[in-house]
Structures are given as C-alpha cells and as structure tokens.
Amino acid sequence: MNNLKNLFNLEYEKVPEKFPWKKNSYLIGLTGTLAAGKSTASEIFKNHHCTVLNADDIAKKMYLRPEIKKIIIDKFGEESYDGTDKVNLKYLSKKIFSKKENVQWINHLLHPLVKEEIKQYLKNAKTGEIILYDVPLLFESNSHKENDYDLIIVVDAPIELRKKRAFERNQWTEEEFMLREKNQMDPSTKKMLANCVLWNDQDKETLEKKILYLIEQIQKNQPKR
C-alpha cells in the first residue's frame, strides 16, 4: 500500500489491488483522454518487453486495401489519398471529425477488419506474454465488450495540459482540439469503466515508474508453467 501512496495520486488515480491472469497470456487495453499521454504510455510498455498492438496502425493498413480505398474515395473524394499508396491523414481527419456521423461511419467500416486481425493475434499469443492493445476509442468502439481484457487502463491529465500538449505536438488550434474532444466519450465515464487510471500530469519518468509498478505486479501473478 505504501508503494501505491508514494507512486500514485489516489485522488485522481485508480489502481487494482490484484492482477490475476485469466489465461496463459495477459491482455491490457490502453486508452486515454485526448493528448493525455497514451502514446507515451504505450512506448514505455513496449520498452519493457510487452507486446504492443496499435489499433490506429492496423487501421492505417486497412485504408490501403483496394476495396476500402474505393469506399473512402466515394465518401470523401480523391483527396483522401496522396497517390496510390499513401493516406492523406490531415485531409481525412478534418472530414471525419467534422461530423459525429462520419466518425461512426469510419468506425463501422474499419472496426470489423481491425477486430479480426487482433482476434487472430490473440489466438496465437505465447504463454506468459503481456499484450498491450492501444485503442484510442476503446469504449466508443465497444472493444471493452468484445475483448476479454485482464486490465483496462485510462491515461488522463488536466484539460489545459492536454490542450498545451496537443498544440505543441500537432499544432492544433483550440477549435481542432475541441472538435476531437467532443467526439470522444466524457473522461469521467471512461475512468469509471476502466479498472486502472493513470494521472499523467508530470514527466515521462514519473509515468514510467507507475507503469513499471503495474508490470511488476502483473509478472508476480504470472501462472506457473
């Protein structure tokens, strides 16, 4: 308990008491509020020998499938792609996030394909493997109902800090930030649905210490082979 008090701000954070394994591998779902540091958390897990699967990276591959490319061009126009093998993400993001219906449309198109790829990977997971599935819209896409997660982590931070990070990293305007923010689930609902919340209002080293604690607890409970 002392470790928890020293590492975590329990006013804002939520950490499970136990980390039991349901299967031979351990599946973590990672999501977060906008620009809270989810990608940084994902990188830390990867650097500490966890397998990281990224929903956005898988979806980007799906954009290049000929049948998907045709559907997207029909919906959003030729500008959706730069040539034959590159997605015009800046243009598409603007189109998709301009309307909630467009967000739902693209999720409906790509989610089943991403879901199938993840399903195939999990079926062949190694014994003792800790797998992190990085999903920006984990709850919005119902991934928490479709996958048997051992742990669901939400990374959060104060909204003014999140805005600052988004402006510096992506050069977003206030309007662009709020457009994306309103297309996501309310942060309080995300944190209620998760069984672990990390408050990322400091530096990367602080976040890494928290994640290392989680990894150590998971490894301690690893089933005997």
User: pLDDT tens digit string along 162-220?
Assistant: 999 999 998 989 988 998 898 889 999 999 999 999 999 999 999 999 999 999 999 99
Report the C-alpha gap between 133 and 55 in whole angstroms.
7
Residue 88 located in a structural domain: yes
Residue 225's Cβ-count burial label (10 Å; 0-12, 13-18, 19+) is exposed
- Neighbouring residues of 86: CB distance < 8 A, sequence distance ≥ 6: none
pLDDT band at 79 (very low <50, low <70, confident <90, very high): very high
pLDDT band at 100 (very low <50, low <70, confident <90, very high): confident
pLDDT band at 130 (very low <50, low <70, confident <90, very high): very high
Residue 158's Cβ-count burial label (10 Å; 0-12, 13-18, 19+) is middle
Q: Which DSSP letter does residue 18 get?
A: -
Paired with 87 in beta bridges are: 81
pLDDT of residue 3: 67
Residue 225 located in a structural domain: no
CATH no. for residue 212?
A: 3.40.50.300
* Mean pLDDT, rounded, of the chain: 92
Residue 26 located in a structural domain: yes
Work out the average pLDDT over 27-50.
97
Residue 168 identity:
E
Tokens describing residue 125: 């997971």
Report the C-alpha gap between 129 and 27 in whole angstroms.
9
Residue 42 located in a structural domain: yes
Coil, strand or helix at 194: coil
Residue ranges with strand state E in the chain = 26-32, 51-54, 130-134, 151-156, 196-199
The residue range of the domain holding 41 is 2-220
- Using the predicted structure, report yes or no on whether residue 71 has a pLDDT greater than 90: yes
Give the gyration radius of the chain's Cα atoms: 18
- Using the predicted structure, report yes or no on whether residue 84 has a pLDDT greater than 80: no
Round to the nearest angstrom and report the end-to-end CA distance of the chain: 29
Tokens describing residue 117: 């790829």
pLDDT of residue 25: 95
pLDDT of residue 103: 87
Residue 178 located in a structural domain: yes
Residue 183 located in a structural domain: yes
Percent of the chain with pLDDT over 70: 97
Query: With left for phi above 0 and alpha for psi between -120 and 50, is residue 171 left, alpha or beta?
Result: left
- Using the predicted structure, report yes or no on whether residue 2 has a pLDDT greater than 70: no
Tokens describing residue 18: 């136990």
How many domains does the chain divide into? 1
pLDDT of residue 93: 87
pLDDT of residue 8: 93
Report the 10 Å Cβ neighbour count for 84: 8
pLDDT band at 97 (very low <50, low <70, confident <90, very high): confident
Residue 43 located in a structural domain: yes
pLDDT of residue 135: 94
User: pTM for the complete prediction?
Assistant: 0.89
The H-or-E segment that residue 153 falls in is: strand 151-156
Report the C-alpha gap between 38 and 168 in whole angstroms.
16
